[in-house]
Amino acid sequence: MSDSLVERLRAQVGGPRDGALLRFSLGNALLGEGTYAEAAQCFRDALGFDASYSAAWKLLGKSLLAVDDEAGAAAAWTSGIEAATRRGDVQAAKEMTVFLNRLSRPR
């Protein structure tokens, strides 16, 4: 009986423990598996529970960038920087600022 982490997390969606952390964890597991579009939706779901969840904004941007949605990634990181700043999460704001700056550099 070796259920994958994704399967175990999916089994909890809609249950009493459903929330931002569960959706974030599921998105993170999917991101690790390379299932970027589904991961992005999980991060959006996490943000539906808690719009100030800066880690979800950060990984939403990464998952969108992985599916070549640069505009979506930039928008996610911009919103994430605002949320992190309001929350006092200085490190997350700095990280997303770096990602956003890298995205805007000419290639």
The predicted pLDDT at position 1 comes to 40
User: How confident is the model at residue 3, as a pLDDT?
Assistant: 75
**Cβ contact 100:81 at 8 Å:** yes
Task: Tell me how far apart the alpha carbons of residues 21 and 24 are, in angstroms, rounded to a whole number.
Answer: 5
Q: Whole-angstrom Cα distance, residue 107 to residue 102?
A: 10
Q: What is the pLDDT along the chain (107 residues), one digit of tens a residue?
A: 457 999 999 999 999 999 999 999 999 999 999 999 999 999 999 999 999 999 999 999 999 999 999 999 999 999 999 999 999 999 999 999 999 999 987 76
Residue-level pLDDT at 21: 97
pLDDT for 104 equals: 80
The Cα 86–Cα 103 span in angstroms is 23
Q: Which residues contact 1 (CB under 8 A, 6 or more apart)?
A: none
**Quick one: 5-104 is in which CATH superfamily?**
Tetratricopeptide repeat domain (1.25.40.10)
22-47 pLDDT tens trace = 999 999 999 999 999 999 999 999 99
Burial bucket for residue 72 (CB in 10 Å: 0-12, 13-18, 19+): middle
Q: How far is CA 56 from CA 47, 71, 106, in A?
A: 7, 17, 27
Q: What is the pTM of this model?
A: 0.93
